[in-house]
Amino acid sequence: MNRTAASMGSLSREWLGFQQFPTATQNKLVELFGKLKQENLNSLTIIVMGKGGVGKSSTVNSIIGERVVTVNSFQPEQLRPTMISRTRAGFTVNIVDTPGLVEGGYVNYQALDLIKRFLLNKTIDVLLYVDRLDAYRVDDLDRQIIKAISDGFGKNIWRKSLLVLTHAQLCPPEKLSYDVFSSKRSEALLKTIRLGARIRKNEYKDFDIPVVLVENSGRCNKNENDEKILPNDVAWIPNLVKVITDVATNGKNSIIVDKKLVEGSDSNDKGKMFIPLILGVQFLVVKWIQGAINNDIAKGGRSL
Ligand SMILES: Nc1nc2c(ncn2[C@@H]2O[C@H](COP(=O)(O)OP(=O)(O)OP(=O)(O)O)[C@@H](O)[C@H]2O)c(=O)[nH]1
Ligand SMILES: [Mg+2]
């Protein structure tokens, strides 16, 4: 487990943005990284995925404490994945920002393929699946994108994942309290993740996906220690990093992106093998229904 930044094939820089964090946050992060180092983990590779424009790049910038990737309000920005590596006191964080997986109403399978190729020979320790807290619906597209991630990286990636909800400094609609609103939104998304990843009821415990709320806005409220806080008073940056380290050390295997994974699991091609079989079964079913109808007509004719 002694993967260093050098062996990841990346150029790791001193983490200058770290000093931007308030002292209270810095102390908490140093403690968390210290715990990881005690477990012989000297680096973490985090990948950030989700639909377009949900705040992936903003979240990467918030974690690093610098504007390392471009944030764009009105057009899809990122076309290919980028890896940012920062080292602080012997601990390296590698974080991979990716292009949105849904653009213009469709799952962008090409983008997913690009991400897989980019990650070849890397190990994913944690997946941040990002969406917005301030949205009110989940639809079939959400399920499709989850399914695409599962097909691409294997269902087990959800054992190393957390759900990150941005735009968390909101006033809930109607009379809902903040906590009730955010748990309703989280539950709806978790349900979709279980559905899309085909996680069965008896597996829920094994695929326990934590939810973390995030507010990337510069106008985020702060506590007396100058840490950015949510309406429920949680200092969210140390909380996010804490949950990331929890997931990294949850005892489940990290996802190794090898050649087999990149080339072998093209589910579209796999699906094609079954087309003749499906057509055959369809043919038999149609024949059987036709037979039944003919039978009914024959019987009906007699009873008239
Ligand atoms: N208020 C608020 N705005 C946010 C938050 N996160 C992101 N934004 C804004 O949402 C817009 C899109 O953010 P990005 O970080 O570029 O989103 P993205 O998911 O990286 O987008 P793509 O790379 O195009 O897929 C920008 O205008 C951000 O400033 C947040 O937590 N709160
Ligand atoms: Mg982006």
For 38, the token pair is 């005690």
Has 186 been labeled as part of a binding site? no
Q: Above 90 in pLDDT, residue 93?
A: yes
- Of 121 and 173, which is predicted with more confidence? 121
Has 252 been labeled as part of a binding site? no
Has 54 been labeled as part of a binding site? yes
Residue 7: pLDDT band (50, 70, 90) is: very low
Residue 172: pLDDT band (50, 70, 90) is: confident
Q: Above 70 in pLDDT, residue 70?
A: yes
Mean pLDDT, the chain, integer: 89
**What mean pLDDT comes out for the span 164-173?**
92
Q: Which of 64, 68, 72 to mutate to test the pocket of ligand 1 (most atoms within 8 A of CB)?
A: 72
Has 7 been labeled as part of a binding site? no
Contact yes or no for 138/192 (Cβ under 8 A): yes
Q: Which of 47, 71, 236, 240 to mutate to test the pocket of ligand 1 (most atoms within 8 A of CB)?
A: 71
Q: Give 288's contacts (C-beta < 8 A, 6+ positions apart).
A: none
Ligand 2 centre and the CA of 97: distance in Å?
7
Ligand 2 centre and the CA of 115: distance in Å?
13
For 61, the token pair is 């910038």
Closest approach atom of ligand 1 to CA 100: 25
- Residue 253 DSSP label: P
Distance CA 96, CA 57 (A): 9
What pLDDT does 76 receive? Answer: 60
Minimum mean pLDDT among 25-34, 64-73, 212-221, 291-300: which range? 291-300
For 153, the token pair is 């990286």
For 147, the token pair is 């399914």
Q: Which amino acid is at 208?
A: D
Tell me the pLDDT tens digit for each residue of 230-281. 999 999 999 999 999 999 999 999 999 999 988 875 555 555 566 677 777 8
Distance CA 25, CA 149 (A): 32
Q: Which amino acid is at 153?
A: F
**What mean pLDDT comes out for the span 108-126?**
94
What pLDDT does 198 receive? Answer: 96
Minimum mean pLDDT among 77-86, 150-159, 252-261: which range? 77-86
Closest approach atom of ligand 1 to CA 51: 25
Assigned CATH for 13-263: 3.40.50.300
Q: Above 90 in pLDDT, residue 133?
A: yes
Contact yes or no for 252/159 (Cβ under 8 A): yes
Contact yes or no for 67/9 (Cβ under 8 A): no
DSSP-assigned states of every residue in 79-108: -S-EEEEEEETTEEEEEEE---SEETTEE-
Ligand 1 centre and the CA of 52: distance in Å?
9
- Of 22 and 205, which is predicted with more confidence? 22
Q: Give 88's contacts (C-beta < 8 A, 6+ positions apart).
A: 14, 15, 18, 29, 30, 33
Distance CA 149, CA 157 (A): 8
Q: Above 70 in pLDDT, residue 187?
A: yes
Distance CA 49, CA 297 (A): 56
In 3D, which of 136, 196, 140 has the Cα closest to residue 172?
136
In 3D, which of 240, 238, 212 has the Cα closest to residue 28?
238
What pLDDT does 5 receive? Answer: 44
For 107, the token pair is 């799952």
The binding-site residues of ligand 1, defined as CB within 6 angstroms of any ligand atom, are 52-58, 71-73, 76-78, 99-100, 166-167, 214-217
Instruction: Report the Cα–Cα distance between both ends of the chain, in Å, rounded.
Output: 79
